[in-house]
Structure 1
């Protein structure tokens, strides 16, 4: 019977081909070049009759493997020597479920907060009142002007040391100018204007602020305020929310869980089949690789720079499934929901989200002024608005976005129109951040401000507010 190998020709008796053909083969798959090489090596290495071609092939493979290990070793040493090794373990967790707001800080929680790429590694501690700040007495000291900062993760400031966050910079600059000022930080990650209004009602007003400074982030605050969008993004209703009924705000689902979810959750595309096999073939290597500083440094950056390759590595089991896998599960038409705030024209759910946002801003202003204080708004810029390369990367990562028209200044214009109608003083930081000509103001992967960004924001707020504070 004729015998065919990876080389042309006939397997003559006594030849290496014939011995290879007649030997029993182990139960290995043979559907790739690598598998065939494994079979050949098993036959010839066992008999000490390795042909010259195979010896050269093995030598070349050994050199390549040696080069790979050498390069990996050099990079491993470089990452460690340069202090770029990301922390091991898990970052501290500072939040707990809260029936009033959905979630809130755990009083006394402390520890180091960091992300997988190791872009930041900052210590933080929640004070006894659940605020991400130093301790303040509820009763305002005599002769002190108080500013209460409301906001989300940009105001919360976990990614930088607390004394370098913008609220601390503002307090430091105002006091250095001869004023007696306390700037109390009440920012909480993920909160929208609705939760900030509820916090002010429940806790914030007890501090008797003279000014409430709302740090509004158009990048997701509008979405947070509309429960249909928020629930679609969050995967369910996790918080109290407001609806507009006959032009009036109506509070629902407080305490959290007291009402069924809304029926108007924004529809999202059906998910694609899971791209990750049930048992990736190389997953057994992952615990070993996790000890490498270079591996921990490289993988999070690979997910951003080459998500398709990262998906392949996740399919093989060499890295944990991450954002690239979540995106693949959404299918080729996936567009992250939050970017809808930049789409033009806006879809109907976003128009409704802006209406409820306007109502929430009006109600917060009304309640603050009833208490004898002033509401001001600082508008927080997003990284894609400031850095064109960041927006281009988003468009490349989600090709379906290229079929639509986007306007990165649209949310800032719409918010400015609302605040002017309501006669609320505001400072838009977007032009200030765009005019900056130094190093980046953002953590490139995380997207929040770094210490330079906080310093620039704090200084801009000082310049804006100092003349109006006694």
Structure 2
């Protein structure tokens, strides 16, 4: 019996120094980084974003910038859902690079893109929908639920190497699982919908989701206490399970043996298969169904180091997957390295690969060059005819929800998961009254339209 209090004694032994460290952190940290914590909003029907309608100051050793989020929770200006006449609309979907981490909002690639177009006499509106940690799964979901309501003429989907991991629906954050697509048991894409029925407007979101600020010391103490409590109260079976779990961590050579020999280096087979399904779904949604242009854009890695051969193979593999659907790739890795070699200003923060103002300018220039070339294509080009037919067909479907195939429940409770055809972008739609929401579908006519979009995807070329 004397040995029983031992775990509690060890827990106290850990917590006392932890409390002292936390108090020291609390006193010193605000002097080093006087920035409030980012507040995130978990929407019920689309991937989470920053909290809408708030002003935030981001401070690191590289930058000190103030930005404001719009009603949708993105670091972008407000945009009317209805597209003004004569305006060419560009939708940018991506992760923290497109979100604009650390860059002044006036220097974001969306604003630079608009200025470049205006210089050439084109009325262009660029809409950025991006968040840190997103992959193609979250980008497809965002396009289906919100993005397509803005009727973009051109959609740029940005690829970062970690997207292959961020795509998984089982990925969890401190705010719970991100709504995302996954492959169901039957090989069809499944969009996991949360239970929240609607997207609240910004004032309501602030009331419902913003938490009173907690000190960094309190946060650290809570994490340490929770860990110490778990260790102190764990039974023998739990400790044994933890030891066994550690034994099942595969060595690198065994892990490589489980991958596809023909796949990109470092990418497990399940991530590759899901990525390919998402690329097909993006093409079907953006090009075949909605008649817009689609381009894949490669973001950059660490430009101060030589190009890694495995990274180059990965980018080539991604570009080839998009090319199978007639979607071309804008390779910013190549563009940025050429600019650096030419002695132009360095495009990223020195201790952070995210782009600075110069990087956003280079990205906007490369993207505008591609958009300008596509707009100048002759009217008789095959891709123009395909896009014209798809856009006329899309105008009849613009008001429908993305769920256009017969939904099939796959478990997880009512409304949690709905299955669509392989690669078919049939995710959830915004609730009535939410930003970007359109009219509800008219019931019986919906199932056939998803099938027609799928059949058209083989002939539509981006």
Match of 2:16 in 1: none
The question of whether the paired residues in 2 share the 8 Å contact of 1:243 and 1:356 is answered with: yes
The question of whether the paired residues in 2 share the 8 Å contact of 1:378 and 1:427 is answered with: yes
Match of 1:388 in 2: 305
**CA distance 1:466–1:246, shift in 2 (3 Å):** same
Q: Structure 2: state its 5+ residue gaps.
A: 1-29, 198-216, 218-245, 253-257, 377-462
Q: What is the rounded CA distance, in whole Å, between the counterparts of 2:283 and 2:327 in structure 1?
A: 8
The question of whether the paired residues in 2 share the 8 Å contact of 1:94 and 1:110 is answered with: no
Deviates more, 1:127-136 or 1:236-245: 236-245
Per the TM alignment, residue 349 of structure 1 is displaced from its structure 2 partner at its CA by 6.4
**CA distance 1:94–1:147, shift in 2 (3 Å):** farther
The question of whether the paired residues in 1 share the 8 Å contact of 2:319 and 2:328 is answered with: no
Q: What is the rounded CA distance, in whole Å, between the counterparts of 1:86 and 1:412 in structure 2?
A: 41
Deviation digits for residues 30-50 of structure 1 (CA, Å, limit 9, x no counterpart): xxxxxxxxxxxxxxxxxxxxx
The question of whether the paired residues in 1 share the 8 Å contact of 2:47 and 2:180 is answered with: yes
Q: Which has the larger radius of gyration?
A: 1
Residue 80 of structure 2 aligns to a residue in which SS?
A: coil
The question of whether the paired residues in 2 share the 8 Å contact of 1:240 and 1:256 is answered with: no
Match of 2:202 in 1: none
Residue 137 of structure 1 aligns to a residue in which SS?
A: coil
Alignment of 1:200 with 2:143, yes or no, is: yes
Per the TM alignment, residue 101 of structure 1 is displaced from its structure 2 partner at its CA by 3.0
State how 1:17-416 maps to structure 2 within 5 Å: 88-91=33-36, 93-115=38-60, 118-217=61-160, 219-227=161-169, 230-231=171-172, 237-252=177-192, 254-255=193-194, 350-369=268-287, 370-383=289-302, 386-388=303-305, 407-416=310-319
Deviation digits for residues 391-415 of structure 1 (CA, Å, limit 9, x no counterpart): 8xxxxxxxxxxxxxx7121210110
Match of 2:375 in 1: 469
- Which of structures 1 and 2 has the larger relative contact order (alpha carbons within 8 angstroms, sep 6+)? 2
Q: Structure 1: state its 5+ residue gaps.
A: 1-84, 259-286, 288-329, 392-405
Per the TM alignment, residue 227 of structure 1 is displaced from its structure 2 partner at its CA by 4.0
Q: What is the rounded CA distance, in whole Å, between the counterparts of 1:235 and 1:112 in structure 2?
A: 21
The question of whether the paired residues in 2 share the 8 Å contact of 1:124 and 1:158 is answered with: no
Using the size of structure 2 for normalisation, the TM-score is: 0.56
* C-alpha RMSD of the superposition: 3.6
Using the size of structure 1 for normalisation, the TM-score is: 0.55
Match of 2:322 in 1: 419
Q: What is the rounded CA distance, in whole Å, between the counterparts of 1:128 and 1:234 in structure 2?
A: 23
The question of whether the paired residues in 1 share the 8 Å contact of 2:182 and 2:190 is answered with: yes
Which residue of the other structure, out of 358, 369, 384, is the alignment partner of 1:452? Answer: 358
